[in-house]
Amino acid sequence: MENNSIIPKEFWHNRRLCVTGGAGFLGSFVVEKLKERGAQDIFIPRKSQYDLVNIEAVKQLLSDAKPDIIIHLAAQVGGIGANRDHPAEFFYNNLMMGTTLFHESWKAGVKKLVIAGTVCAYPKFASVPFKEDDLWNGYPEETNAPYGLAKKMLLVQSHTYRQQYGFNSIFLLPVNLYGPRDNFDLESSHVIPALIRKCIEAKANNQPEIIAWGDGSPTREFLYVEDAAEGIILASEKLNSSQPVNLGSHFEISIKELVETIAELTGFTGKIIWDTSKPNGQPRRKLDTSLSKQLFGFEAKTSFKIGLKKTIDWYKNHQNSKLLANS
Q: Average pLDDT in the 105-115 region?
A: 98
**Winning range, highest mean pLDDT, from 65-79, 151-165, 306-320:** 151-165
- Decide if 147 is catalytic: yes
| pLDDT at residue number 188 | 82
CB-based contact 253:222 (threshold 8 Å): yes
Per-residue pLDDT for 152 more than 60? yes
How high is the pLDDT of residue 174? 97
Share of the chain above pLDDT 90, in %: 86
Say yes or no to pLDDT of 6 above 50: no
**pLDDT tens profile 267-318:** 999 999 999 999 888 899 999 999 999 999 999 999 999 999 999 999 999 8
pLDDT at residue 323, as a whole number: 53
| Residue 325: exposure state from Cβ atoms within 10 A (0-12, 13-18, ≥19) | exposed
Print the SS3 string covering 90-103.
Answer: HHHHHHHHHHHHHH
- C-alpha angle with apex 110: 24 to 136, nearest 5 degrees? 70
Query: How do beta strands 245-247 and 271-275 pair?
Result: unpaired
Cα separation of 238 and 297, whole Å? 9
Q: Determine the pLDDT at residue 4.
A: 45
- The residue-averaged pLDDT of 55-80 equals 95
Separation CA 160–CA 179 (nearest Å): 35
Q: What is the pLDDT of residue 163?
A: 98
pLDDT at 319: 82
CA 127/CA 125 separation, integer angstroms? 6
Give the chain's mean pLDDT.
93
Structural domains of the chain, ranges and CATH numbers in brackets? 7-179+222-252+284-302 (3.40.50.720)
Name 86's Cβ contacts closer than 8 Å, sequence gap at least 6.
76, 78
**Mean pLDDT across the stretch 85-110?**
97
| Separation of alpha carbons 181 and 32, rounded Å | 13
Q: What is the pLDDT of residues 209-227, one digit of tens each?
A: 999 999 999 999 999 999 9
Contact (Cβ atoms closer than 8 angstroms) between residue 278 and residue 226: no
Q: What is the CA radius of gyration of the chain?
A: 20
Name the active-site residue from 147, 178, 224, 315.
Answer: 147
pLDDT at 3: 43
pLDDT at position 127: 94
Length of the chain: 327
Task: Read off the DSSP letter of residue 205.
Answer: T
pLDDT digits (tens, 9 = 90+) for 235-274: 999 999 999 999 999 899 999 999 999 999 999 999 999 9
Distance in angstroms (rounded) separating the CA atoms of residues 266 and 326: 24
What is the rounded distance in angstroms from the CA atom of residue 313 to the CA atom of residue 319?
A: 10
Mean pLDDT of 22-45: 97
Asked whether residue 2 carries a pLDDT value surpassing 60, the answer given is: no
pLDDT in tens, 196-208: 999 999 999 999 9
pLDDT attached to residue 326: 53
